[in-house]
Amino acid sequence: MSPEDIGIVQASFKRCSQHMEFIDNFYQRFMETSSDVTARFANVDMDHQVVMLRGSLELMLGCVHEQDPAQSLAALAELHSRRGVDIPPQLYDYWLSSLLSTVRAYDHECDAELLAAWERVLSPGIRCMKAGY
Ligand code: HEM
């Protein structure tokens, strides 16, 4: 992940965020990936989930500036671990693939290289969430 990647991804997130329904659409795609995902959100109200998804994205894009992503994500990783809301590692792959397909749908400048940059930027944080399980 390079400084160029971060700039490219933040610009893409800005273009996507101009569409009011971007986060809702991400949420819908994520829910459709697996009954495992749906089940984990069964008791969380939808408005809160949408706020959570936007927050999670802002955090993941912001934390790339931190020296040690493991430290800034530690509390969040603990919350998602088997000691908390119990999110097994493979659900992060659904999270990422739903996000990338939503970016493809909403960013008119999207191409394969842009999606690869998104993946490079988010991978360290995702690795850290999975490792905390
Ligand atoms: C890198 C990916 C993710 C990030 C950055 C992230 C971030 C967050 C944040 C910021 C919260 C709110 C914490 C709080 O209220 O203090 C949260 C809660 C939660 N997340 Fe994630 N999340 C991620 C992936 C996932 C995945 C894959 C699932 C699987 C279904 C999931 C399920 C949940 C649940 C169930 C809650 C608790 C909601 C509640 O009870 O209020 N998250 N997440």
pLDDT in tens, 94-130: 999 999 999 999 999 999 999 999 999 999 889 989 9
* Closest residue by Cα to residue 74 from 132, 13, 127: 132
Q: Residue 62 contacts by C-beta under 8 Å, 6 or more apart in sequence? A: none
Provide the 10 A C-beta neighbour count for residue 107.
Answer: 21
Residue 116 sits in which domain range? 3-131
Helical packing angle, 112-131 and 3-17, nearest 10°: 100
Q: Tell me, what's the pLDDT at 66?
A: 57
Tens digits of residue pLDDT in 15-73: 999 998 999 999 899 999 999 999 988 888 878 888 877 877 777 776 555 556 556 68
Number of structural domains in the chain: 1
* Binding-site residues, ligand 1, Cβ < 6 A: 37, 40-41, 44, 48, 52, 55-56, 59-60, 76, 79-80, 85, 87, 91-92, 95, 125-126, 129
Contact between 64 and 121 under an 8 Å Cβ cutoff? The reply is yes
Q: Tell me, what's the pLDDT at 54?
A: 80
What is the sign of the dihedral through the CA atoms of 47, 53, 54 and 55? positive
- Tokens at residue 33, please? 């990936």
Q: What is the pTM of this model?
A: 0.90
Of all atoms in ligand 1, which is nearest to the CA of residue 36? Answer: 30
Q: Tell me, what's the pLDDT at 81?
A: 96
Question: What is the domain-level CATH number for residue 57?
Answer: 1.10.490.10
More confident call, 52 vs 88: 88
